[in-house]
Amino acid sequence: MGVSGGARTGRPSRPAVLAIDAGNSKTDAALIAADGTVLGTGRSSGFQPQRTGVGAALDVLERAVAEAAEAAAVPRPAPGAPYADRVSACLANADLPVEERQLAEAIGARGWGAATAVYNDTFAILRAGLSGTEPPRGVAVVCGAGINCVGMRPDGRTARFPALGQLSGDWGGGGGLAAEALWWAARAEDGRGGPTELAAALPAYFGLASMAELIEALHLGALAQLRTHELVPVLFAVAAAGDPVASALVERQADEVVALASVALARLDLLDEEAPVLLGGGVLTAGHEQLDGRIAAQLARRAPRARLSVVSAPPVLGSGLLGLDALGALPGAQEKLRAHFG
């Protein structure tokens, strides 16, 4: 497995995998032994290289890595020496293969591992949701701040989407749903659109009396734009109460999830086979009855042999499993790692 020669030197072998999962809001790191034992974990803030620059974004990762190393009592033996045999990093905002390659080079230059692999963070959900030691086979859709979908076959084929927002044809995710809810609510209040309870519910969430006040607060900075994601549960609550406008947004989100999954299955020639479709991210793991029910019904129509499930395990598990896969893990290592993360 390429583990360093502790038996020859009398020193403990270094960890096999440094697993990293970095989303827009937080970063998790774990140092993992060859047998799947988690030696230490760390956490830092969100990974946003497009906003902060690659160097500053990697500094965020490094804080989580350093915390994991301290927890594992695995100091770097020398400046630039690797913490582990392999870095397995699943990163938000690594949306294109070229970005994965560039980030792998930048992380490799930090010297955290003897080898480095970078994947879009949706691959972590896919791997975390698949049991066993066989190469990944299935499709994952993540709906958190944004929306994305990937699929893999054991022969190495993948299906993926650019996931760059409206530019690449995407719709929804937490940010998109909040923006749509605000749009419909603003038009309802000023008369350009039909009525919706969103016009009262959205400003009320922030203690404001009208959409006009909410728009002003967001525009002038009295209320941070980043807080609009807090409106997504409000949207779902209004939809559950029967509001037609909010319900239509929830149903459209469900249809987008199904469209991504069914297209990915078709690209991988899995539509006619039993194949897992795994759902992850805050929007899809929150248990919204209307959203979940429509996804199940529409997927059964478009991909009747798909097996739908929700992934509740932390995505860093998927990063770790991908790392163990690449190293040819010892028997039972994946199961031990999975058991640690529950």
Rounded average pLDDT per 10-residue block, the chain, 342 residues: 38 84 94 97 94 95 96 81 95 94 96 96 94 82 94 92 93 96 98 98 98 98 96 98 98 98 97 95 95 98 96 95 92 92 86
Phi, psi of 160 (to 5 degrees): -155, 170
Q: What is the pLDDT of residue 330?
A: 80
Residue with tokens 């650019």: 162
- Note the pLDDT of residue 6: 40
Residue type, 224: A
Sign of the dihedral through C-alpha 302, 304, 306, 308:
positive
- What is the pLDDT at residue 219? 98
Residue 19 CB contacts under 8 Å (≥ 6 apart), including other chains: 29, 30, 31, 32, 88, 89, 316, 317, 319, 320, 322, 323
Question: What count of residues does the chain have?
Answer: 342
Would you say 83 and 113 are in contact if contact means Cβ atoms under 8 Å apart?
A: yes
What gap in Å lies between CA 60 and CA 297, rounded to an integer?
41
Q: Check residue 12 and report its DSSP letter.
A: P
Alpha-carbon span 9 to 16, nearest angstrom: 17
Q: How far apart are CA 40 and CA 61, in angstroms?
A: 15
Q: Where are the alpha helices (DSSP H) in 209-267?
A: 211-220, 232-240, 244-267
Using CA atoms, how far apart are residues 229 and 24, in angstroms rounded to an integer? 12
Query: In angstroms, rounded to a whole number, what is the distance separating the alpha carbons of residues 333 and 342?
Result: 14
Strands 158-160 and 113-120: unpaired
* 3-state SS class at 34: coil
Contact status, residue 102 vs residue 331, Cβ threshold 8 Å? no
- pLDDT at 77 (0 to 100): 67
Strand order from edge to edge, sheet including 17-22: 38-45, 26-32, 17-22, 84-91, 113-120
Q: What's at 242, amino acid-wise?
A: G
Lay out the sheet containing 138-143: strands in order across: 158-160, 147-152, 138-143, 275-280, 306-310
Dihedral in degrees, nearest 10, Cα atoms 196, 200, 201, 204: 170
Q: What whole-number distance in Å separates Cα of residue 306 and Cα of residue 264?
A: 12
Residues 88, 94, 99, 105: what is their CA dihedral angle, to the nearest 10 degrees? -30
The residue to which tokens 């899995």 are assigned: 270
